[in-house]
Structure 1
């Protein structure tokens, strides 16, 4: 006999957890299901463990930059110790999450959920029926369709390495490639990035990415753009990566090859058709309320929905939207204005709002202030040469349209621009704000 619930949540990451806890607090019976350890990508296999490794690499890099400026000695990273530090955070997460669900009276299930009807799933032989479902299964690496693809390790595999090999190739040029290459280079690996596009980090301002590439070169990262990986072959002492660039064949030897070429919603194993849930091109077909267009009992959130940018704050936002729609009826729509994005390179690069090209494309009248500001105090006190910004302000309204930062504290300062964009604060209001000095935020007035 099937077990009955008001809501069944497939996944236990940020979007899943946020929705499950809110709906349970409202008195609904709730079940959560996951084929993997509880906690989701961000806490276990993505943002959080990555940032812990970036923290170690950043500390060492700062010490190296300060050599001859009061810091002596040659710092280095002990990779096993850094990984142990990372595990001190990630290892307890699944048990802690499962206990918290039990404490709230939320039923927990382990295994692959497969729909067997519009309102029912099978989980390793257990049948669950629910009035409503939430698909919050996150994302997985995209299939590349090349020979030897099975030799690639994923970002999850990289974050679990017990030792870092000497020669690493990253396939792709987005967040994962940029961040992992900076970590690996600081540890001492020979790193090559093979990017099919004409530049890395296409979601960030091209001028600022250009400034950041100086740091890639300075730490010895070999970035090859316009290069398409065609095959990966296992050989005696590692791997042979074959690619093409400008009509020429390129061969790169590696001890490790990392998939960094994008992710897609992880929905393939759900047997969606049996529940009448439409998907097209690997994406769920949703309405403006994050509800399935073809099965009104089903909602989606986070990376599985791919309604907004694939970022953790978006997953949290989606969770609030879905919970509101489950409790109130469909009255809530997601609002992705002012979502900041950061690539945690060393130093970080960040963006929020419109790009310069987007603003021109919308026919907006605006002024742009942009500068590579390596001589500003924020850069000099950190002994960091890469520091700069580009900010666009609408002429008539003084609204901040977009902000793009690279350098020390960019990952924090971007949040203040996000606040301004989301809540309509003007450039004048930001200029009149008294920020603590000297901090990264105290530069904002000079960026406008």
Structure 2
């Protein structure tokens, strides 16, 4: 049996943060991951996705300026862009492991299961530790209908050697929309099937409608209120059956992808043997990110049922808090700043703070500024058709409660709104700021 001060399960951003910080303070640390070190964001999510999006951004910009200074719209070369993506991904696991070795962190490459409240089975080893940190992230939801196992994952999409002629995505969240936009701009025929009445349910509905319109204009078939009930493999294609209002419709496609959500990857850890309380949302934790039922356990990132959004910067922040509480005792409570969230489609959708529905449910006196901005100079010079904003203002103290944007540079502009919300900046202070012009940020005063 091996003994550690801290043992971390999962080597994504939160687990990596905990392991490195604890080791730097002289604690004996071990870490395991059944997948390559680096986690979803660096290897199977945001980073490779954003690299691939780069080529589609060039094509989109060229299409918008065709006839206005651009003669030829470039094609997306899938093989080249995947090779470029691999140059980022392949280097990451060995680099991370080397960093662990330099800090005398013991590394394991296998799954883990709890044996008791302070022991863990890691491959052939039994591990005992004073503190365990669960940072296993999330994984694709299991599709429990006939043929559900035939659907590929988001990881599979990011590793496609060749882009299929047609793709069907099950689910209407950000993964489906982002990958659908990539595939459509790379020349594929794309369908999204979503069981709800509205896609991207956690974002402001009015702003989402702009993205729905843009998605359909791109040629993507977006089918709502349709529950997938079956996937069948035929000779060279798949047939997907969807039910809507009791009526069945079939869809023929070369490939099917499961983008129906990502629950926490905690249900194979035998948590009950360690007396760890959990729900379908993750490990039940207190304000110190410590298990409410086993004080030797902490959780961070997507595996914790906390108030943090499933975002990489949030996972890193939670990792720092967990490490601090292990090193110094529970002295640091988790306190979430405004958490901006982005859907990296084209146009880009970005959001921070309260939606209008949330502000209404909290019975706050608020006002809403919602308008299209496609007639503004920035939209015209970029020739974009989808540019809109919704800002929600606290009437009482004239601060920003929420901001929701769709359009160019929204992923950057939203950070300024997040800063204004965090610092409780008055809208008059924002209105009287001098912004560089003509930038997208210079549009902010006109959104208030």
1:156-212 deviations in whole A, cap 9, x for unaligned?
A: 010000011111100000010110110000011110100001121111111111112
The residue that corresponds to 1:376 in the other structure is: 376
What does 1:273-422 correspond to in 2, within 5 Å? Answer: 273-281=272-280, 283-307=282-306, 308-422=308-422
1:259-317 deviations in whole A, cap 9, x for unaligned?
A: 01101010122121222212233632222221111211000000011412111111011
Q: Are the counterparts in 1 of residues 31 and 107 from structure 2 also a CA contact under 8 Å?
A: yes
Q: Are the counterparts in 1 of residues 282 and 302 from structure 2 also a CA contact under 8 Å?
A: no
What does 1:124-273 correspond to in 2, within 5 Å? Answer: 124-273=123-272
1:342-398 deviations in whole A, cap 9, x for unaligned?
A: 000001101000011111111111121111100112212222111010001111211
| Separation of aligned partners in 1, 2:327 and 2:399 | 35
| Separation of aligned partners in 2, 1:287 and 1:206 | 32
| Separation of aligned partners in 1, 2:343 and 2:71 | 30
* 2:139 aligned counterpart, secondary structure: strand
The residue that corresponds to 1:89 in the other structure is: 88
| Separation of aligned partners in 1, 2:371 and 2:447 | 8
| Separation of aligned partners in 1, 2:115 and 2:437 | 60
Q: Are the counterparts in 1 of residues 390 and 403 from structure 2 also a CA contact under 8 Å?
A: yes
| Separation of aligned partners in 1, 2:224 and 2:44 | 27
Q: Are the counterparts in 2 of residues 365 and 394 from structure 1 also a CA contact under 8 Å?
A: yes
* 2:248 aligned counterpart, secondary structure: strand
1:215-265 deviations in whole A, cap 9, x for unaligned?
A: 112210000001110000001121000011122111000110000110101
1:13-53 deviations in whole A, cap 9, x for unaligned?
A: 01111111111122211111111100000000011111111
| Separation of aligned partners in 2, 1:277 and 1:130 | 15
* Superposition deviation, residue 110 in structure 1: 1.0
| Separation of aligned partners in 1, 2:424 and 2:8 | 35
| Separation of aligned partners in 2, 1:236 and 1:242 | 17
TM-score, normalised via structure 1 length? 0.98
| Separation of aligned partners in 2, 1:324 and 1:429 | 36
The residue that corresponds to 1:105 in the other structure is: 104
* Superposition deviation, residue 144 in structure 1: 2.4
Matched, 1:423 2:423: yes
Q: Are the counterparts in 2 of residues 337 and 353 from structure 1 also a CA contact under 8 Å?
A: no
| Separation of aligned partners in 2, 1:132 and 1:74 | 56
Alpha carbon RMSD of aligned pairs, Å? 1.2
The residue that corresponds to 1:3 in the other structure is: 2
* 1:347 aligned counterpart, secondary structure: coil
The residue that corresponds to 1:53 in the other structure is: 52
Matched, 1:18 2:35: no
| Separation of aligned partners in 2, 1:149 and 1:239 | 12
TM-score, normalised via structure 2 length? 0.98
What are the ranges of 5 or more consecutive residues in structure 2 without an aligned counterpart? none
* 1:170 aligned counterpart, secondary structure: strand
Deviates more, 1:103-112 or 1:170-179: 103-112
1:389-415 deviations in whole A, cap 9, x for unaligned?
A: 000111121110000000000001001
The residue that corresponds to 1:65 in the other structure is: 64
Deviates more, 1:186-195 or 1:373-382: 373-382
| Separation of aligned partners in 2, 1:342 and 1:205 | 12
* 1:140 aligned counterpart, secondary structure: coil
| Separation of aligned partners in 2, 1:213 and 1:168 | 18
* Superposition deviation, residue 335 in structure 1: 2.0
Q: Are the counterparts in 2 of residues 390 and 447 from structure 1 also a CA contact under 8 Å?
A: yes
Q: Are the counterparts in 2 of residues 267 and 282 from structure 1 also a CA contact under 8 Å?
A: no
* 1:141 aligned counterpart, secondary structure: coil
| Separation of aligned partners in 2, 1:94 and 1:328 | 30
* 2:383 aligned counterpart, secondary structure: coil
| Separation of aligned partners in 2, 1:128 and 1:194 | 44
| Separation of aligned partners in 1, 2:245 and 2:275 | 46
| Separation of aligned partners in 1, 2:93 and 2:378 | 39
Pairs aligned (count): 447
The residue that corresponds to 1:439 in the other structure is: 439
